[in-house]
Amino acid sequence: MNRKCLIPALLVILSVCSLTGCAPREKTLLLPDLYTLDPESEDPATGEDFTVKKIYTYSYETSPALDQSASLKGCGEHEVSVIANEENTDGQMPLLRQVDYRYGFYDTSGQSKTPWEEPQKVLHPIFWRLWSPYEASEEGEADAGEDLLYEIEKMLLSPDGKKMLVYARAESWDNYFVWFYDFETQTPYTLYQGAPPKEGEAKGAFSPSGRWVSFDTTGSLHQKLILLYDCRKDRLDEGEESFVSIDEFSSFYPPDDTLPIVEAASQLIWETGLFDRSGQAGLLTVIQEYDKSVLAIESYSLPPDDPELAYTENSYYLYGTPESMPYFRYALDVKSNHVYYLYDVSRMWSTDLTHGTSGIKTDFSHAVLDFLRLDSGDCLLLCTQDANAYNIKATVNLTNPDPFTLQKEWDISSVDLYLYSAEDESERLLYKDLRNVIRMEYDETTRRILVETSGDGTLKRRQCVILEL
């Protein structure tokens, strides 16, 4: 069966530019019958629904502080949303850009969905100063705290790519801010201001639906409650008088819901994340106890109209404790209430969080660095045949690095994208030789796979590889 693939023709362009003197510019050309998958993947029995029909790429620059910068959620059939820098700018506010990638857009050729405008009334001067050159104010002209230099620590994007959390720390002394920013309205909201985390960093998370967000899922800032905010709710900026104090130094914006911090979370936290359940937000916390056993703690609020309990908590030890792994990769199936996780680079286990029973063990034929579990039970796998992957040991650390860091840490040159079929336990190659992979996403509505990579290994230069099925 013939395939068509859209690929960058950089070598051709560079050779032409060497003769004409023009600046190199990436294009996308249609080269029929050039790309074919592995013969094994041609067999319809291995998963006809995941036949890759076309492959596109889109390159751009963005802020290296972003954990992810692209999304397919809520986009049109051939569109992708990216958070990208404007042309010839560095350090300024990235913009939400929604582009049709079929025409080979490169950098700012795509139209920004909401061109940035200088706010007429500056309600959050510290936030806006992050994106523009700072000039020291004359003595007495600045409000308290405005004369400090702040540095962006990290930026966390929502699943639909339209909102983000921004964390910033003062360079001169311990002052910490967390903002919630809406790209479409270009409106920031201060969620937290005060003392920074005592150890490590505050870990934020959005729920998979994008409805709920928490800027601190480990309790490093509040230390008693997990503060939850409804992203669909319209908010009024009422100023600092509406904030709730934690102590004399720190305060937070009133949340829409809260969850108590689990007592066991004072031990070594492997991972935390939000999930959606009956319109409410839930929290999954995975910790390692002092005896090295691994415990999954599921806590969530029940719907407001539930006549029994307003809050519930389940905790079960994970079978096949992943002691041999220096990181934890998991997926929570809310319908069956099973958590799936990598035991080592070639095995996956699952645990039923309702009854505490062990699930089915899955064996893979390749070393798996990361996986994405689909609603069908199938999985997208980032695999490598690099021998370094099989030598990964828990002696390195347990800071739970992302796939991009893993590839650099263990000098893994490239990874391949596979589909694992739960029905017949087969593995099907979808794309080979991906480099510096940051994350992957599957959009069931448009049946597309997005793999976000780093073009130069620095997280500033990004590329989206989009597989249309």
Q: CA distances (Å), 21 to each of 17, 24, 28, in order? A: 5, 9, 20
Cα–Cα distance measured from residue 418 to residue 370, given in angstroms and rounded to the nearest whole number: 11
Highest mean pLDDT: which of 110-114, 241-245, 262-266? 241-245
User: What is the residue type of 327?
Assistant: Y
Q: 328 CB contacts (<8 Å, ≥6 apart)?
A: 270, 271, 286, 322, 341, 342, 400
Q: Which pLDDT score is estimated for 216?
A: 94
Whether 13 shows a pLDDT value over 60: the answer reads no
Model confidence band, residue 118 (pLDDT cutoffs 50, 70, 90): low
**Do 413 and 443 touch, CB atoms closer than 8 A?**
no
- Mean pLDDT, the chain, whole residue set: 78
SS3 320: coil
What is the DSSP code (8-state) at residue 308?
A: S
Q: What is the mean predicted confidence (pLDDT) over 231-235? A: 86
Q: Which pLDDT score is estimated for 186?
A: 87
Mean pLDDT is lowest, of 75-84, 128-137, 371-380, for: 128-137
Q: How far is CA 31 from the centre of its chain?
A: 33
In our burial notation (b when 16+ CB lie closer than 10 A, e otherwise), range 90-128 reads eeebbbbbbbbbbebbbbbebebeeebeeeeeeebebbe
Mean pLDDT is lowest, of 15-19, 133-137, 252-256, for: 15-19
SS3 374: coil
pLDDT above 70: percentage of residues in the chain:
73
Q: Which pLDDT score is estimated for 93?
A: 83
Q: Which pLDDT score is estimated for 144?
A: 47
pLDDT tens digits, one per residue of 426-460: 999 999 999 999 999 999 999 999 999 997 778 88
What are the residues facing 454 on neighbouring strands? Answer: 462
Q: Which pLDDT score is estimated for 20?
A: 35
Tokens at residue 451, please?
């793999």
* Four-point Cα dihedral 134, 136, 140, 144, nearest 10: 50
Q: Which pLDDT score is estimated for 182?
A: 92
**Tokens 């404790």 map to which residue?**
321
Closest to 214 in 3D by CA, of 239, 237, 185, 191: 191
Cα–Cα distance measured from residue 178 to residue 380, given in angstroms and rounded to the nearest whole number: 33
Strands 330-333 and 448-454: unpaired
Q: Which pLDDT score is estimated for 219?
A: 87
pLDDT tens digits, one per residue of 335-382: 999 999 988 778 888 999 988 888 777 889 888 889 999 999 999 999
pLDDT tens digits, one per residue of 186-211: 889 999 999 988 777 889 999 999 99
Q: CA distances (Å), 115 to each of 93, 98, 101, 271, in order? A: 11, 11, 19, 36
Q: CA distances (Å), 117 to each of 114, 183, 185, in order? A: 9, 11, 10
pLDDT tens digits, one per residue of 91-101: 678 889 888 88
User: What is the residue type of 423?
Assistant: E
Q: Count how many Cα atoms sit within 13 Å of the Cα of residue 294 in the half-sphere of its side chain.
A: 25
Q: What is the mean predicted confidence (pLDDT) over 392-420? A: 72
**Do 276 and 282 touch, CB atoms closer than 8 A?**
yes
Q: What is the mean predicted confidence (pLDDT) over 263-286? A: 84
